[in-house]
Structure 1
């Protein structure tokens, strides 16, 4: 095959075969040069040639093409131009039809792709000089209108055989994602690429070396998986530092690479997010302040995992805010599990929530990631000791004088990060022994014998409850909602508050008052009979699993102890924030101290500089908070969901399933609560609590019910551990329970089976 033409009367190299390997050496731009490399490395690139810039310049100089004032290009004698360029024989050397495409030097660069700037002509018959010359003129001429913006540029042209595409589209392969993002359509992708049609989207799992395509995918998608793996092998991110935007076409037997260009801006994908354990530890609508504080800690929180493996993505959001609530990036967590070769179910078992697709364990990937997994395992092994160090660091953050909001916010961010990263390690340390105890059927036997600082919040009330039972004056005062004057009661009460008064309902939100500020929920517990169950007899299986139980309980106690001390720090931070807020009120910056919780942390920082939001600002913020309260709070959502319109209606089901926490059956009325209340149950016992989430702040309610159904929470969530330790018949992770069950409905709770049946609707 000759590479030479005779535009100037002598032989010149005017075109190169695609795959020749010398495109970059000739100064040809990235669009053609990258395909040249790909074909040289035997990637499936259609046969073709690169018509070099010299052909354009010689044709223009010799009058074979003419440039007009309106920016168009004409070819007076197509046959003469085609002959002079010296194209290969389009009958047998390079049979068509062809795509004639720009490959100009300004295209597909690292800073900008200029996608769609220049012309392409499809289905060109190379045997017809008129068609070929018209296509060349259109492509060369498409540079004219951008000449002023881009300056002089090479006008190389790609001539590639057309693919008879059954499916085609665009794929983005980015090193920070475990899946490739694919946009596809049937037939040719020209309308898809131009934006004329939307096409369909698909997340395609990346294939690692040695892995086979996913059998549940269509054949074309399996071939695309193989092609994208080849692209990553040849154009590795480690070597090039780039991610790739790929155009492809599948003809039913081969998936062809049509174009490859660097991704100039990272994609923003429709990732899945879960509210998961945020739903457990935060109120239905957290304060604006706390939501922004949590979101500001996202990078620090995910840095905990990156310390084990620096290959984990650095710039993907771990937490995002939707409808005023902080959501965890479930896609990122699942991809992290896949990177380590671990089953994705570990994520939902730890924090609750749902995953759209379960990925099983991958032994080969675990072997590849043996070193990071060993680091991860060591962190779990020493999680209890690490938690003690974190407790000391948490106290150091509050052992200072705070005179500015920036000092307080910085301390709050560090305390929150220390708390949550400590929870990560301890939760991981608990998960395996807890899973085994459940499998062996002895989890309840051991849980009822576990005593942590969280259950002490309940059990330490026993002397006060006994005093109320034996002293009519104390009991009468409590029934009036007053604090009894009895000196013995007061002394015991002060001791109790000194130990537990820094705890509270939804205590993870700094905006929420602590029990020493609002003790009424605790006082109401003193009139309720104890619901604590005696542990069952030891079984042989229970005795044999004592080492496992000891390991789990050690980590459980350490986790609750860490939270206990972190909440002491929260109490100090809250008091100081309100103290500085009172000063801001005196300076006419805030209408009242509690207005601080209606501001984001960035807005609070502006108070240090003298910013004073006006009444209109707070009126609008109050209206926005009221609007957010009315919006749905799905457990699982995607980034691009329209939460006010796109959520599917959920039909009432006579049976709901969840995770069993304890054994026991209860038939009773549903008491649907969205947060704890001081009002006693509106029904006679037995009463079954139905709540979106629970934590230590719900202990006053647990004392008044005979069973519990909880929407969100895994085996290892705080509320689940407390319910197990109390032995209250309960199940968790019952999706949409508070929407499907109405207050007063008759329920049959079968806690041991993880089942709740709706026996009948409320008649009142």
Structure 2
């Protein structure tokens, strides 16, 4: 079947290259006209030739040792193949008296992470039906060249079911041609467009046969760089090209490698695909998304507003903590957080410099706990007590002891103070304020009260991070890693689990009431929502309202203030209630909690018998202290969630007022500011026009990476490619976070939208979990995540539910097939695929 480039077809029929050209053309970009012979045409041609069986037989025999021989034999078979009469007839009807480019569009080309750049054939300046038909067969042959077959085998892509579509496109007799990268692939600068151009056809640049002129443009800061010898592009033409390239990046939502040709000042685009390899030579420090990505601000592309909230705290709190703790001095400090490729990162180099001052610090353990990619052999940097370091360690230890003591003494007071502030904002929310008053409230909320709330939470995280390393090292002298998990599990009344204990309790009462059970089981969500809106007193609707009142500040994405909370999205809560009502008592989270407490108590008793009473009392004191720190971390996390809810509702209120006053064009414009922009606007340091320009620029940046997931760690020290999940004995390796071994069906969930596919007894395989997923944990046998460390959300909640959990399992969602049977070991982190 022949498909016009002005239409649309699925990639599994025309290949990603052809589909990309269709997308560009249909979105107003200048793409030379033409058509595509889809993969069905290829199937028809091979079938009619009678050689399909022979090609498949030879393909099945390919290995690394015989690639050259098999490649040669298959290519010879194509010398006997001709296009069918019907295909030739269709092509003839579409041809005009002009030259064409005949381009391969393999179905395995331009895949995520595998571009096949330069692997398949392109034929230029082709004229007449006979030569076009020969070129099409030439494209088919190029699937089986030695280079392509080696590439497939080396990357584990397989050589079976090979198919090819072919693009026949009007030839552009280019004055100049080139390539544009929408991010700098060498330095890692995500705002710098790199353009290389040369006279004539672009194939010369791709093949490396000419030395092109290079142009750079930082579109975010509106700065261009020219070599003095550059003469092919005027400034005006270059900027026009660069802005078109940026438009293409925004259309696709990921960094693009774009091929173009210029004829008579018209820019034609002949290919656009994802950049598959990005170096970070211009990023000297090491940066990571660890903890930021675990369902948080780095899980996906982040709005400037949300990142600025985090950045505000991160820069202020981390700096204050390391200075107050006598860990670093001012000369050792560098910027702690930044945004790369639309995702927030924190400066791993700075934090490791600080942690290396802590006695007993082992870089490998630190990285493992956070799920950070190591860049060294063995344990990496290990801190030992020496006469040289002793004074600094003692000074730091005294400061840290004071900080821990102050936090322990004042934690409850801080909690009470923060909750009082929170409820004051809740009570004032319904008031109608003038714009000036609303700006004043928002300013104080963000700059003072949010700073206090989030700093309190972050401070607790930092305290835990420093002290947990020491605690774990001391405890592992007496217990195994699995027993260590028992001693930090079974925490009582963890705040973010309370909503689901409450929901479970109400669901049991609903089940016991026949009328209510029938209502919740049989009614649609919309019917229950109507009863809620009408303040019904029947069928436990008042308990639903009570849940919303108590826990409505939660959401399915709790570190994204652009996302609605439960009080705004009651339907999602009703859906959770209905799902919980459908569960039987064997899945009770309360039973899981009691079991974990029993495991903890038994582990303590075992330790007491092992150490003796006197020694045990000293160890028990440290266990109680560490568990208290873990509990308070979750308690302050809950308060943090409350303040994000308050910030969301007051920011939306402010945005509506700005739209009404004509300051903003639409209500979601506010999410494309940073809080410091709003501070400056309120302080009259920038104008309305300045604010709108900032919003326009930030929208472009956000859109540029909305479909892109950058590396979790970046910087010159890191390998440019993601480390693939390590297969061992047919299995996959991650970090174990909770004891137990289970076997069950793997349910690969790539986004929140798919979470309803989870069934009782599944092993969840996903990139990360968020607190909004917690209601699903009761039905799971186990959890596997690509992100996270032993204190991430998935790890903490799995310990409370008593289910095995493996985190930091690189590429788990790709290596494990949905529906396959897997066994996971929550202690060792080993995952075995039993049956696919």
Q: Distance in 2 between matches of 1:704 and 1:623?
A: 41
CA-to-partner distance for each residue in 1:403-433, whole Å, 9 max, x for gaps?
Answer: 2454444234443333212321244445544
The answer on 1:489 being equivalent to 2:506 is no
- In the other structure, the counterpart of 2:321 is 304
Secondary structure of the corresponding residue to residue 460 of structure 1: helix
Q: Distance in 1 between matches of 2:779 and 2:689?
A: 46
- In the other structure, the counterpart of 2:188 is none
Shift of 1:581: 0.7
- Choose the corresponding residue for 2:563, options 501, 512, 536: 512
Shift of 1:735: 2.6
Distance 1:385 1:326, change over 3 A: farther
Secondary structure of the corresponding residue to residue 753 of structure 1: coil
Is residue 660–residue 732 contact of structure 1 (8 Å, CA) maintained in 2? yes
Q: Distance in 2 between matches of 1:308 and 1:614?
A: 39
Is residue 662–residue 728 contact of structure 1 (8 Å, CA) maintained in 2? yes
Alignment of 1:74-85 (within 5 A): none
Q: Distance in 2 between matches of 1:476 and 1:553?
A: 43
Secondary structure of the corresponding residue to residue 689 of structure 1: strand
Shift of 1:363: 1.0
Is residue 450–residue 553 contact of structure 1 (8 Å, CA) maintained in 2? no
Q: Distance in 2 between matches of 1:590 and 1:354?
A: 42
Q: Distance in 2 between matches of 1:628 and 1:670?
A: 29
Q: Distance in 1 between matches of 2:835 and 2:504?
A: 37
The answer on 1:715 being equivalent to 2:751 is no
Secondary structure of the corresponding residue to residue 688 of structure 2: coil
Is residue 725–residue 732 contact of structure 2 (8 Å, CA) maintained in 1? no
- In the other structure, the counterpart of 1:588 is 662
Distance 1:622 1:317, change over 3 A: closer
The answer on 1:472 being equivalent to 2:518 is yes
Shift of 1:577: 0.9
- In the other structure, the counterpart of 2:334 is 316
Shift of 1:708: 0.6
Secondary structure of the corresponding residue to residue 321 of structure 1: strand
The answer on 1:347 being equivalent to 2:366 is yes
Q: Distance in 2 between matches of 1:524 and 1:443?
A: 37
Shift of 1:596: 1.5
The answer on 1:372 being equivalent to 2:417 is no
Shift of 1:479: 6.2
Secondary structure of the corresponding residue to residue 416 of structure 1: helix
Q: Distance in 2 between matches of 1:363 and 1:649?
A: 34
CA-to-partner distance for each residue in 1:41-88, whole Å, 9 max, x for gaps?
Answer: xxxxxxxxxxxxxxxxxxxxxxxxxxxxxxxxxxxxxxxxxxxxxxxx
- In the other structure, the counterpart of 2:606 is 541
Q: Distance in 2 between matches of 1:340 and 1:730?
A: 29
The answer on 1:525 being equivalent to 2:576 is yes
Alignment of 1:456-471 (within 5 A): 456-470=498-512, 471=517
- Choose the corresponding residue for 1:571, options 624, 636, 645: 645
The answer on 1:724 being equivalent to 2:782 is no
Secondary structure of the corresponding residue to residue 467 of structure 1: helix
Q: Distance in 1 between matches of 2:542 and 2:695?
A: 43
- Choose the corresponding residue for 2:287, options 253, 259, 273: 273
Q: Distance in 1 between matches of 2:348 and 2:789?
A: 15
Secondary structure of the corresponding residue to residue 756 of structure 2: coil
Distance 1:705 1:285, change over 3 A: farther
Distance 1:376 1:620, change over 3 A: closer
Secondary structure of the corresponding residue to residue 749 of structure 1: strand
Larger mean CA deviation between 531-540 and 368-377 belongs to 531-540
- In the other structure, the counterpart of 1:7 is none
Is residue 320–residue 326 contact of structure 1 (8 Å, CA) maintained in 2? yes
Q: Distance in 2 between matches of 1:661 and 1:479?
A: 36
Is residue 713–residue 732 contact of structure 1 (8 Å, CA) maintained in 2? yes
Shift of 1:289: 0.6
Secondary structure of the corresponding residue to residue 345 of structure 2: strand
- In the other structure, the counterpart of 2:356 is 338
Secondary structure of the corresponding residue to residue 325 of structure 2: coil
Secondary structure of the corresponding residue to residue 469 of structure 1: helix
Shift of 1:279: 0.6
Shift of 1:716: 2.5
The answer on 1:554 being equivalent to 2:656 is no
Is residue 746–residue 763 contact of structure 2 (8 Å, CA) maintained in 1? yes
Distance 1:617 1:555, change over 3 A: closer
Secondary structure of the corresponding residue to residue 721 of structure 1: helix
- Choose the corresponding residue for 2:762, options 682, 687, 690: 687
- In the other structure, the counterpart of 1:705 is 780
Shift of 1:290: 1.2
Distance 1:708 1:305, change over 3 A: same
- In the other structure, the counterpart of 2:106 is none
Q: Distance in 1 between matches of 2:359 and 2:664?
A: 52
Distance 1:747 1:620, change over 3 A: farther
Distance 1:298 1:671, change over 3 A: same
Alignment of 1:416-427 (within 5 A): 416-427=454-465
Larger helix proportion of the pair:
2
Is residue 787–residue 809 contact of structure 2 (8 Å, CA) maintained in 1? yes
- In the other structure, the counterpart of 1:356 is 375
Distance 1:291 1:335, change over 3 A: same
Secondary structure of the corresponding residue to residue 563 of structure 2: coil
Q: Distance in 2 between matches of 1:349 and 1:618?
A: 38
CA-to-partner distance for each residue in 1:442-471, whole Å, 9 max, x for gaps?
Answer: 345442364321221221212222134332
Q: Distance in 1 between matches of 2:691 and 2:629?
A: 49
Shift of 1:274: 1.2
- In the other structure, the counterpart of 1:146 is none
Shift of 1:583: 0.2
Secondary structure of the corresponding residue to residue 756 of structure 1: strand
Q: Distance in 2 between matches of 1:542 and 1:708?
A: 28
Is residue 505–residue 696 contact of structure 1 (8 Å, CA) maintained in 2? yes
Unaligned 5+ segments in structure 2 are 1-280, 426-436, 610-615
Distance 1:548 1:496, change over 3 A: farther
- In the other structure, the counterpart of 2:483 is 442
- In the other structure, the counterpart of 1:113 is none
Q: Distance in 1 between matches of 2:770 and 2:725?
A: 28
- In the other structure, the counterpart of 1:628 is 705
Distance 1:715 1:321, change over 3 A: same
Alignment of 1:174-185 (within 5 A): none
Larger mean CA deviation between 563-572 and 646-655 belongs to 646-655
Distance 1:704 1:627, change over 3 A: farther
- In the other structure, the counterpart of 1:758 is 833
Shift of 1:366: 4.5
Shift of 1:699: 0.5
- In the other structure, the counterpart of 1:291 is 307
Distance 1:516 1:634, change over 3 A: same
Larger radius of gyration: 1
Compute the RMSD of aligned alpha carbons.
3.4
Is residue 670–residue 742 contact of structure 1 (8 Å, CA) maintained in 2? yes
The answer on 1:637 being equivalent to 2:714 is yes
Distance 1:427 1:359, change over 3 A: closer
Normalising by the residue count of structure 2, what TM-score does the alignment of the two structures yield?
0.53
Secondary structure of the corresponding residue to residue 403 of structure 1: helix
Q: Distance in 2 between matches of 1:410 and 1:639?
A: 35
Q: Distance in 1 between matches of 2:755 and 2:368?
A: 33
Q: Distance in 2 between matches of 1:380 and 1:481?
A: 51
Shift of 1:711: 2.1
Shift of 1:725: 0.8
Shift of 1:599: 2.1
Is residue 333–residue 350 contact of structure 2 (8 Å, CA) maintained in 1? no
